[in-house]
Structure 1
Amino acid sequence: MILVTAKQMQEMDRKTITEFGIPGLVLMENAGRGALETLVETFDPIESYRVAIISGRGNNGGDGFVIGRYLMEMGVAVSFILLSERDKVAGDAKINMELVEALLAEHPESRFLEVPDGETFDRLKPTILHHDLFVDAIFGTGLNADVRGFFKTVIQTLNQSQSPVFSVDIPSGLNADTGKVCGTAIEADATATFAFAKAGHVLYPGNVHTGALEIIDIGIPGHIALGECPNLFLPEKEDIAALMPKRPFNTHKGSAGHLLTLAGAPGKTGAAALCANAAVRAGAGLVTLGVPQGILGIMESLAVEPMAIGLPQGDAGELSEEGLQAIQTVMSGKQVLAMGPGLGTHSSTQALIRALVEHSDIPMVIDADALNCLTSTPDIFSVAKAPLILTPHPGEMARLTGTSPKDIQADRLNIAIEFSQQANVILVLKGAQTLTACPDGTCYICPTGNPGMASGGMGDVLTGMIAGYMAQGMAPEAAAVAGVFIHGFCGDLLAQTSPVGFTASDMIKIIPNALAKILA
């Protein structure tokens, strides 16, 4: 699914009107009629509701007038609540407001209330709240400042009411690009948006405020939409299914990909096992797990299918730079190198990781401690010879950028895209709606996953999955997008049994089943 920004949507509207000759009034009519269809399907039978259209003075309010006009013609009692003075409504919205006013004489069950200020709202509040359904047409996608004054009071009042709310285009108070709440925002049960979903609909907390989302075709020509070069995407099952490699009948383990995982240290053997076992479950034909010699025995019992090998270790039992030549020998014939889970951050391990990033010629998935080993030399990514996929959580991302987790979470989308472009890496920024940002500016927002996945080892599983898909021949970008989606989908399947308490090991077991459901 394509996602757009408010600016891109505004430009599409402008070009449709000025270059293609479709009047703005027609677009507003299409938007209102399409939103009405969703409203009627969502709240059935619509005739049983007392509906209040809460309109601002802009085009979003105009869409609300169109919806209300059609509702009146269906015999629904509609109250039009204009949060402005009439003479401040202009353009296409004014035309639709005047159409509504002209029709009111034929529909005595409906009414028009002008509510230009807080005093009027307080006086009419009991009347306004005496409705079964609110249509939120206050602010559209252009909002970029905090909601203040009586608008804030109106939104908070609607949220506190017991009646459902249907938002037009976007819940009023949400930033359409980031999903952030601008002071306060409508908590909608459902939203009808136009032409394309906006990033703010799917990014937390916007996704929570949006409710069920329906996209309405309002007649924007396809070449105009594509001309805006959208760079944000929300992958769906069908997209992931199309990415997955199809195996020839005569496939054997040697042709299904061979990857090397460098992971583990004393006390951190579980992370290494999770990563390697996940790669196997993702379908890699062969997985070699390279660990410090001192923990080889433990690893052979924790990871049965992967081939565990012991590598030279330092005085603290860590993988060290002294093992570089041995590792490079083992890397021969491998399609992917995954490193980081449970490695530790000993100075000798840091030197090893830097050398591998700088000199290796096979694609790498870099996670956890391998990322932490590189925080003092972030410029090293730009000199890497091979494609890199970095998979930080917000804390690791903060260390890479010299900021704080709070800073990262405050602007996840822009930070991910900017870092990916500057470092020339594919960046998987984990969290609610994990982001996969690519050097060309493309970014994928993952729709799968849930809070039950906030448990140790989940990231190790993701690293193994992405590496496993790459080993089978998937391009790095495709492997990252698919790995993130399927990883979250596994969590969603497990959450159907219990919302919490499932583990990373549970995730690994159902990877094949999750893929089967996606491919079905």
Structure 2
Amino acid sequence: MNLVTADEMRRMDRATIESFGIPGRVLMENAGRGATAFFLEAVFRDHPGAVGIAAGPGNNGGDGFVMARYLHQKGIRTTVFLLSSRDRIKGDAAANLKLLDTMDVPVVELADETSFQSRQLLMRHQHTWIDAILGTGLSSDVRGYFVTIIDFINRQARPVFAVDIASGLDSDTGRVCGTCIQAAATATFGFAKVGHLCYPGRALTGRLKIIDIGIPRHLAAAVGSRQHLITPGVLKNQIPRRSATAHKGHTGHLLILAGSPGKTGAAALTAAAAMRAGAGLVTLGVPTSLNPVLETMVTEAMTVELPETAEGYLDESAHGSVISLMEGKRCLAMGPGLGSQASTGRLVGRLIEESPLPLVIDADGLNLIAAQPSVLSRRRSPIVLTPHPGEMSRLSGHSTADIQDDRIGHARAFAEKYQVHLVLKGAATVIAGPDGDVFVNATGNPGMAAGGMGDGLTGLIAGLVTQGMEAGPAAQTGVYLHGLAADRMAQKKAPVGYLATEVIDTLPEAMDELLTGGDHLFWPERDRLFCYSDAAGK
């Protein structure tokens, strides 16, 4: 499912009006009518009473005026609080405001702080609020009077329904622009916006529905979108199917380089996840002194002793042995628990440059190449990197805070620069490809903030590559399945406290659910349900 930026949405609207000939007022009418239906279902049904509509001076306010008309026609007591003087309202919004006057819908002008102060008592008597203040065009911090209004509405602790996007939310990043409406539900138009899915925007959006307002598919396709929500319907067609006569030689052999003193668990988790993902064979290359330990920790995987440093870490002298081990393998995964020794780093760099196999690199592997990320440009084969924000900071040279403010932008820039597939982990994990396309994941939960989860994801993605999937689809599928397995653990056990090993053991159930389940996304988050529907959003 496509996710659009504010600019992409503006271009689609403009093409629909100017090239296709559907008037902007018709689009506004469709938006307001569809939003009203969703408001009645998602908010008003459980919270009947007086409805206050906070309307700004732009088209977002115009959508609110249309909603006011439909609500008034249904006999619902509705008051529009116009956060502007009437003479500032132009175009289609002005036409819809004029219709309210002919229907005697109350419109209260709150053009400044003084008028707001005089009307606070009336505003406090609203049972629900519709936020039609700012819309999707916001990119800088909310200022002045609008800050006062947004904070006032949030303090009322009444359900708020957002029109298109919660006011104060950056629709391109999910960043809060100073202050933001906390919505219980949002009706968005044409397509979901990036900011609806990226935190903190996802937590401020509430229940989300996409309203089809009549944008022709061919015009939307012509504008295009480089951001996508990972959906089950796409993934299930990418997962390799096994024939009745398949054997372990058909399903691939994976080589893993992992582990160091005190971090043998990382190696074992990576191997276990690869096996649960369906890899036919897994060989785990480890420092010689750790081999006896790993042999007792892994059952299905094989282990191989490799040259080590005096401190017990993989040594650069293991290079020749690793090259030989690649024979007959389909993928090389490395990084979990490798440690930070310089000799290990040189080994990792040489393998990136020389490996004929696709690579999946995580954890210490990422930290070891952070001082020389240019080595990625010299790789022979596709690479999947799976950093968390801290590791991404070390790789890119940007602060963690900057990365979190624009996860898609940073992931895309790095993936394009070094021509890699980059999995930026965290809430709403982002997968960026070398072509600039970005995929956002919706599965997973806060219980995944625990040791070993990243090692499991590394093994899962590598296990899928080993079975024949290309790097990009394997990364997308692995991230989705990993989060889905964790969601099932949170439901079965508890929201927090389940283990990485338990998530790994649940992977086959998650894969079966993906393959046999429906194509629509419905998932609980706290006490709300996010839902995506309508043809335009698929």
TM-score range, shorter chain: over 0.9
CA-CA distance at 1:17 after TM superposition? 0.5
Structure-2-length-normalised TM-score: 0.94
Verify: 1:298 aligned to 2:304, yes or no: no
1:408: Cα distance to partner? Answer: 2.1
Instruction: For 1:508 and 1:43, locate their aligned partners in 2 and report how far apart those are by CA, in whole Å.
Output: 38
Amino acid at match of 2:322: I
- Displacement after TM superposition at 1:499 (Å): 1.4
**C-alpha contact (below 8 Å) 2:450/2:499 kept by paired residues:** yes
SS in 1 for 2:173: coil
Residue correspondence of structure 1 range 23-422 to structure 2 within 5 A: 23-45=23-45, 48-104=48-104, 110-422=105-417
SS in 2 for 1:389: strand
Q: CA deviation at 1:168?
A: 0.4
Matched, 1:518 2:518: no
Residues 46, 76 of structure 1: 8 Å contact kept? no
Q: CA deviation at 1:44?
A: 4.9
Q: Which has the higher contact order (CA 8 A, sep 6+)?
A: 2
Q: 1:93 to 1:46 in 2, by over 3 A?
A: farther
Structure 1 position 47, deviation (Å): 9.6
Deviations 1:477-520 (A, max 9, x none): 00000001111111111112211111111111111111112222
Letter in 2 for 1:500: V
Runs of 4+ in 1 over 4 A off after TM superposition: none
- Determine if contact 1:47/1:75 at 8 Å carries over to the other structure: no
Alpha-carbon distance, 1:311 to partner: 1.3
SS at match of 2:93: helix
AA at the equivalent of 2:510: A
* 1:376 maps to amino acid: A
1:440 paired with 2:435, answer yes
Paired residue secondary structure (2:249): helix
Q: Is the 8 A contact 2:43 2:185 kept in 1?
A: no
Aligned twin of 2:462 = 467
Deviation at 1:265, TM superposition (A): 1.1
Distance across 1 between alignment mates of 2:338 and 2:149: 53
State the alpha-carbon separation in 1 of the partners of residues 146 and 23 from structure 2. 30
Query: Structure 1: how far apart are the matches of 2:508 and 2:108?
Result: 58
Shift in Å at residue 410 of structure 1? 2.5
Which letter maps to 1:478? P
Deviates more, 1:66-75 or 1:368-377: 368-377
Match of 1:483 in 2: 478
| Cα deviation 1:120-174 (Å, max 9, x = unaligned) | 1111011012011111101110012211222111111111113210000000111
The match for 1:509 is: 505
Distance 2:175 2:370 in 1: 29
Structure 2 residue matching 1:370: 3-state secondary structure: helix
- Under a length normalisation based on structure 1, what TM-score does the superposition of the two structures give? 0.97
- Report the AA paired with residue 28 of structure 1: M
How many residue pairs align between the two structures? 515
CA distance in 2, matches of 1:213, 1:403: 32
Shift of 1:309: 1.3
Look up the SS of the partner of 2:360 in the other structure.
Answer: strand
Residue identity opposite 2:346 in structure 1? A
The superposition leaves residues 369-423 of structure 1 with CA deviations (integer Å, 9 ceiling, x where unpaired) of 1111112211111110000011111111111122332232232211110000000
Matches of 1:58 and 1:129 in 2, distance apart? 24
Q: Which amino acid aligns with 1:180?
A: R
Q: Please identify, of 210-219 and 317-326, the stretch whose mean Cα deviation from structure 2 is larger.
A: 317-326
1:284-328 per-position Cα deviation (integer Å, ceiling 9, x unaligned) = 111111111111111011111111111122222111111111111
Q: What is the distance in 2 between the residues matched to 1:48 and 1:429?
A: 42
Q: Determine the C-alpha separation between the residues in 2 that align with 1:48 and 1:364.
A: 56
3-state SS of the aligned residue for 2:103? helix
Rounded to whole Å, the distance in 1 between the matches of 2:371 and 2:388 is 17
Q: In the alignment, is the contact (CA less than 8 A) between 1:338 and 1:364 conserved in 2?
A: yes
SS of the residue corresponding to residue 237 of structure 2 reads: helix
Deviations 1:30-66 (A, max 9, x none): 1001111111111354893211111111100000010
Aligned equivalents of 2:342, 2:144: Cα separation in 1: 56
CA distance, structure 1, for counterparts of residue 214 and residue 487 of structure 2: 35
1:346 Cα shift? 1.2
SS at match of 1:415: helix
Could you tell which deviates more after superposition, 497-506 or 19-28?
497-506
Asked if 2 retains the 8 angstrom alpha-carbon contact of 1:254 and 1:285, the reply is yes
In 2, Cα distance between the equivalents of 1:272 and 1:18?
58
More displaced stretch, 431-440 vs 110-119: 110-119
CA contact (8 A) 1:51 1:77 kept: yes
The unaligned stretches of length 5 or more in structure 1 are 105-109
Structure 2 counterpart of 1:459, one-letter code = G
